Amino acid sequence: MSNSNFIDYVKIFFRSGKGGAGSAHLARYAGNPKGGPDGGDGGRGGHIILRGNSQMWTLLHLRYTKHIFAKNGTDGSREKRTGADGDDVIIDVPIGIVVRDAETGLVDGEITEDGQELVLMRGGRGGLGNVHFKTSIRRTPRYAQPGLEGTEGWKIIELKLLADVGLVGFPNAGKSTLISVLSNAKPKIADYPFTTIVPNLGMVQYRDANSFVIADIPGIIEGAGEGKGLGLRFLRHIERNSILLFVISAESKNIEKDYKILLNELETFNPELLDKEKIIVVSKTDLCNEEALTKIKKRLPKDVKTIMISAHAQKGLVELKDILWATLNK
């Protein structure tokens, strides 16, 4: 997932098509000069439809799109001919998107399955032709309905990655290294903060051809829940994770305090995140001797499951996979 290609937020002005007008035509033939009304109905306006596509991972294709308009329906005509419907606009989007009204912030819908379609804006209904208004008293109505206008407005499309496990931690805690050894993800890894500036997804292979998806988001700093650093922009990507994996370096002076800071940032952003399964991973244990590791174990939080690993030395990874799989299938 290239940094320059990962787009998870777009704002677009949509407009569905207007319905065609009904026809007020009166039949006039050589052998029947007073044939009566025969005006057809107008066609409906085109819909705006979003469709889930499992082959897409980003909103890059919509990055420079500011306006999307569906076609209008055409008018009805003589001999009760109905006008053509306006062409629908079908937009493929990655699975996991949420659509909100830009003004109210209300959710219009979301797409969580491949091929799922969301009719974002319906086209205006076509008007009825004058044939519908003929009665025993009014035999030659000379009027018909106009087509209804379509709907329009600014919409925000946000992508929330669909993953089973979400990595949460401070910058340079070892999350990128962990996801690179657990899965097929190839994130940028370096010994400085904020190496990860976009989320990374990886598929973890497990026993008997089983697998699960893990997501790494940019590191969280204190105050991220209030908009500081990169964290706020990407915290929504862990809202759909079943498990939150808190990655804290063994170099931390107080692992329990760091864990509480991370919990507080998640709660500030969305209190419902605290209802998810939580596991603490103490990373970079290869940098500590046995005495230091013993002290760390004594200071770990007692109310959450913990495991000590070294991604660099490949220690504790099999046990971690077993814990994650068991928790996912609990």
Task: Name the residue with tokens 């109210």.
Answer: 104
3-state helix, strand, coil in the chain (%, to 5): 25, 30, 50
Instruction: Among 136, 159, 182, identify where a domain stops.
Output: 159
Asked whether residue 316 falls in the same domain as residue 195, the answer is yes
Q: What is the pLDDT of residue 224?
A: 47
Most confident of the ranges 22-31, 147-156, 207-216: 147-156
Q: What is the pLDDT of residue 265?
A: 86
**Residue-averaged pLDDT of the chain:** 87
Among residues 277, 282, 289, the alpha carbon closest in space to that of 330 is found at 277
**pLDDT at residue 225 above 50?**
no
Tokens in use for 62? 């919509």
Residue 274 is part of a domain; what is its CATH number? 3.40.50.300
* Better-scored residue on pLDDT, 69 or 213: 69
Domain with 137, as residue range(s), is 3-159
Asked whether residue 238 falls in the same domain as residue 269, the answer is yes
Q: How many domains does the chain have?
A: 2
Asked whether residue 179 falls in the same domain as residue 151, the answer is no
- The DSSP string of 271-318 is GGGGGSEEEEEEE-GGGS-HHHHHHHHHTS-SSSEEEE-BTTTTBSHH
**pLDDT at residue 2 above 50?**
no
Asked whether residue 315 falls in the same domain as residue 205, the answer is yes
Residue 140 is part of a domain; what is its CATH number? 2.70.210.12
**pLDDT at residue 317 above 70?**
yes
> pLDDT, tens digit, for every residue of 291-307?
888 888 888 888 899 99
Q: What is the pLDDT of residue 312?
A: 86
Q: What is the pLDDT of residue 290?
A: 87
> pLDDT, tens digit, for every residue of 245-286?
999 998 888 999 999 999 998 898 889 989 999 999 999 998
Asked whether residue 192 falls in the same domain as residue 242, the answer is yes
* Better-scored residue on pLDDT, 200 or 66: 66
Q: What is the pLDDT of residue 229?
A: 52
Q: What is the pLDDT of residue 232?
A: 58
Amino acid, single-letter form, for residue 308: M
> pLDDT, tens digit, for every residue of 120-151?
999 999 999 999 999 988 888 999 999 999 99
**CA–CA separation, 218 vs 23, rounded Å?**
59
Asked whether residue 185 falls in the same domain as residue 155, the answer is no
> Residue 44 — pLDDT band, cuts 50, 70, 90?
very high
Beta-carbon neighbour count of residue 105 at 10 Å?
Answer: 8
Q: Is the distance from CB of 44 to CB of 124 less than 8 angstroms?
A: yes
> Residue 197 — pLDDT band, cuts 50, 70, 90?
low
